[in-house]
Structure formats: C-alpha cells, structure tokens
Amino acid sequence: MKKTFVKRICAAAVLTTMLVSTFGCTKKPVVDSIDDNYRVFYEIFVGSFSDSDGDGTGDLRGIINRLDYLNDGDINSGKSLGIQGIWLSPIFDSPSYHKYDCADYYKIDEDFGTEADLKELITKCHERNVLVILDLVLNHSSDDNEWFKNFCKAHQNGDTANVYYEFYQYAKEGEQLPGHAYYRIPGCPDEYYEGNFSSDMPELNYDSDAVYQCMLEVAQHYIGLGVDGFRFDAIKYIYMNDNERSVEFFKKYMADIYEMKPDAYCVGECWSPQAETLKYIEAVNCFDFQISQAEGIVANCVKSGDVAVYTNYLETYQDMVQKANPDGMPISFMSNHDMDRMAGYMMLAKNWTQMAANLYILSPGSPFIYYGEEIGMKGSRGAANTDANRRLAMLWGDEDTVDDPIGTTYEKKKQTNGTVAGQLENEDSLLNYYTKLIAFRNRFPAIARGDYKSLKYREDKFGGSLITYNDEVIGLFHNTSEDPVTVDITSTGSADISFKEVLGFIGQGEASLDGNTLTIGPQTSVVLK
C-alpha cells in the first residue's frame, strides 16, 4: 500500500525464487511463504464442511482431515487450494445449528468436538502457515446461557446489587427505545430484555464493566489456545443504532486484543453503507460488502463491463480505508453464509465465476472465499426463505458423511458443477482454476500489498491499475469481455506509463506484449512489468 502504510507486523518478507509454472509465462518469481496478514482466507461453516464421526454434522476433526485439501503446507505445490487462513463459523456450545447464539463461551459445542480438537486443528494449521480465526459473537448470547438465567433471576428477585442484574440490556415498561426489539423478562411483568435478532438472543450490556471483562477473557482464553484472531459478528449491534459508542467499544477492545497478541488478525462484520463501515474501520478491518453479491462492484463489472468503475473503486476504497486506519486493509469477498451463493448468479458456463474470482482475489488486502465457492456450489434462500440453503453440505464426492443442515429445501439436482473428487481429476475444473488463481496472487506480493492507481481506457471491458510496492511498479489489467482485446497500453490519458514484459496471465486466454500493444485473451487478467 502507500509508503505511509504501517503494517501491524513486519513488512512482507516474501522470498522469491524462479520456477517454471503451468500457466502464464515460464520464468517468474514465486512466493515461498507469507508472514503477514495479507492472506487469502477461507470461510468454513463448520457444521456443513466435513464430518469425521458419521453423525451427519461437520466437525473440527473433519476440518483436520481436510487440511491437505485446503493447504498441504506448500503454497506452490499446485496440489491444494493454497488458502492461508481459515475463519470458523461459531463453534461454542449453542442450541442452534448455526451457533450464533452461544450458551457457553468456554465450551466447544459437542456437535463439533472438544477443546483438544481445536488445539490440534490450530497446531496443524500453524504447521502449514495457515491462520485460524474464530467467529466471536459479542453483542448477544443465547437465552440458554447461564449469564442470562442469572440475569433473569436477579430481576425476578429485584437483586440490583447482583452483578448479573446489569448483564443484559433491559428496559422498564414505557422506557423501551424505539427501533429496538424487547421481550418480557420471565417472571417480571413490567421489565423487558432486548433481543434485536431474536427472542433467544438477548443483547449483552457493555455499560457493565463485568460484561466487557468477561468478553475480553473469552478472547484471551482462545488466544491462549493459539487462535490468531477473530471475525466479530454484527459489530454495529454492540450499542444498536449508536455507531459512535460501538466504534469506541471496538477501539478499546482491539487495543486490549493487540496487547495480548500484537499480530492478531481481526475482521468485523458491519453490513452497512460504506460511510458507516468506514467509521468501524478506524477500530478494526471490516468486510467490504460493496464489492460482494449479485449487484456488487465485482458482479456488475463482470456482467456489464466498465472495468474502470471497478478499478476506480479499488483505488478510492483503498485510500478511504487507509485514511480511516493506516493499519487497515480491504477485505473483499463475493458471498458468505448469509448470502445466496455466487454460482447461482455468476454463470459458470459463461466463465463469470472465474472472472469474478480474478477481480476480487487479485485485489488489495485479504480476500475471503466461502467454502464450496471454489467448486461452484449453489445455494440460495429460495421460497422457503431459509439461510440453511446457503449453508449446504460441502460436495466432496467421496465417503464424507456430512449432511445438509436442518431446514434445508434446496434441491440436490440444482448442483450441476460436480464435486471436489470430480474436479480434482479435471485439469480445467473451477477448483483447479481457484488453485492457480491463489498461486498467481501469491507470485506478485504487490497485488495484496501495493498502492493502486486506476487507469482509464477507451474500451469498456478492458482496464487496469498501476500498483506500486517497494518502489517497483507493475500493471494489473483485466479483459472482462468474451473476445480478445488488442490495446495500446499507453493510450490512457491519466498516466505516463510503459511496460516491457508480461510477467503472467490467468483466465480463458493468453496475453502478449508487442511494443506498446497488449493482446489479451477473453476473460483474462495479466500482470505487466
């Protein structure tokens, strides 16, 4: 990123070697290892990923068993996906299948395994230089949590001196805040607790120091076990409808986390218009929702062109993030467990998925892949209006016994792109494309870490960025059209540029440079020096 950019941990001391690759040009630098946070992450919805004990529910040992699929320890082997970080959806004791309502923050849910399994998973991930971050739901717990039961008792007894009396957000009759959801505290006729997501998800009260300390200790406990950081759920709900106080909370919480672990990898979920999210980025990196989904920046660029809209966005957003927080970085993704899967709208037959993957994985910061995206799994809420359809069992195509979550209505026959097993056998599969794409990104440290400047060309479906990193400049160009494009690379009004060499390309075609004339195949991205 920009020269003023201060990285939280040491600069990317990426080692380079020369290697003959299976795609793009022949000789090119390859990153051997990554020791900063500019990583490709993989979101695992734990119950749906891989089942080790035959009960149909994915578990931690299932993930351990699949590590060779995710990262076999050599990011250049070409034999595993090569992701460098894993986000685990909530794993703590919970009555629901999704586990966003936590009954005990210190207990791994029995469906998923034990603390020993978590430790083993972390150790094995670290052996492969894969970070593990946990989903941490701070704003609410389950109503099954002992804390909530103690809160209810304290209110029933009018025991205001009891520390649990203030543990959750509550209001007396007539004092409810507008726009917040309330439910009667059992046994208390005129007192209500707040539950903005659901009645079984009471909102914790961060005006109580005891709650703050409790949740800091939870983070400390898991950092102590070796986790690398957290994905913070629903960050704008710490103080609902009061961004200022929620942002202040995260500034303090993050300072305390960095005290425990200076290189912690943390990312917040603030599903909001950009201006609101940028406030939270002052405290913690946040997912970039603008780039994601069917109507987001990437999908629009792939489907209807104007690459300049996308490259301008990258430049502007990177600047805004850096202004909000010099230690911040963009966190791009296409979909997650709350969204319809991208294979449903980015048509595989038209290579839209591949092009979308190029645009978001070859972008600054740390992109997140949603499990199954790399094999083109589908899943959408549908008429049943259930999130379970967005969290279907991973299609391994082998003996894995993992099953769809309860409530699923998605028809299996709609899955048309095959399984992991099938795609591993097929050189041209989407899975192999993702594997090559991640390796491609790793080859050019500037893509994740450099400072982007957008270039404008006459052709709508062609465009790119100049990327400056460590005083070197590369060009990253994309042709999103279904035809090859030939373009004078200097024909941009906005910068005085020249390139001498193609360093690599990835997509449906090839790329070559003859003087200033770049010829780039359909739906292809190229790096020039």
Q: Which residues bind ligand ACG (CB under 6 A)?
A: 98, 100, 137, 197-198, 233-234, 269, 271-273, 289, 337-338, 387
Supply 191's token pair: 């007192």
Residue recorded with tokens 């003087």 = 515
Task: Provide the 10 A C-beta neighbour count for residue 405.
Answer: 22
CB of 519 vs ligand ACG, minimal distance in Å? 38
Report the residue number, 137 or 257, with the smaller CB distance to ligand ACG: 137
Report the residue number, 198 or 325, with the smaller CB distance to ligand ACG: 198
Report the residue number, 137 or 402, with the smaller CB distance to ligand ACG: 137
Rounded-to-integer distance, Cα 508 and Cα 527, Å: 15
CB of 420 vs ligand ACG, minimal distance in Å? 24
Report the residue number, 138 or 302, with the smaller CB distance to ligand ACG: 138
CB of 237 vs ligand ACG, minimal distance in Å? 7
Report the residue number, 185 or 297, with the smaller CB distance to ligand ACG: 297
CB of 214 vs ligand ACG, minimal distance in Å? 18
The 10 Å CB-count burial string (b at 16+, else e) for 21-55 is: bebbbeebbbbeebebbbbbbbbbbbbbbbbbeee
CB of 233 vs ligand ACG, minimal distance in Å? 5
Q: Which of 9, 215, 209, 8 is nearest to 106 (CA)?
A: 215
CB of 155 vs ligand ACG, minimal distance in Å? 24
CB of 85 vs ligand ACG, minimal distance in Å? 18
Report the residue number, 65 or 274, with the smaller CB distance to ligand ACG: 274
Q: Which of 113, 124, 100, 136 is nearest to 265 (CA)?
A: 136
Strands (E), 401-461: 451-455
Rounded-to-integer distance, Cα 132 and Cα 320, Å: 28
Supply 138's token pair: 């701070």
> What ranges in 379-419 are assigned the alpha helix state H?
none
Report the residue number, 37 or 293, with the smaller CB distance to ligand ACG: 293
Q: Which of 371, 527, 334, 352 is nearest to 439 (CA)?
A: 527
Element (H, E) at 217: helix 209-225
DSSP of 456-491: --S-TTEEEEEEEETTEEEEEEEE-SSS-EEEETT-
Enumerate the β-bridge partners of residue 52.
none
Task: Provide the 10 A C-beta neighbour count for residue 301.
Answer: 25
Going 149 to 152 to 154 to 157, the CA torsion angle's sign is negative
Rounded-to-integer distance, Cα 126 and Cα 103, Å: 29
Supply 436's token pair: 């090559």
Rounded-to-integer distance, Cα 252 and Cα 519, Å: 51
CB of 397 vs ligand ACG, minimal distance in Å? 27
Report the residue number, 59 or 203, with the smaller CB distance to ligand ACG: 203
Report the residue number, 145 or 423, with the smaller CB distance to ligand ACG: 145
Report the residue number, 289 or 477, with the smaller CB distance to ligand ACG: 289
Q: At what angle do helices 115-127 and 209-225 cross, to 10 degrees?
A: 60
HSE at residue 309, side-chain half, CA atoms within 13 A, is 16
CB of 204 vs ligand ACG, minimal distance in Å? 12
CB of 245 vs ligand ACG, minimal distance in Å? 16
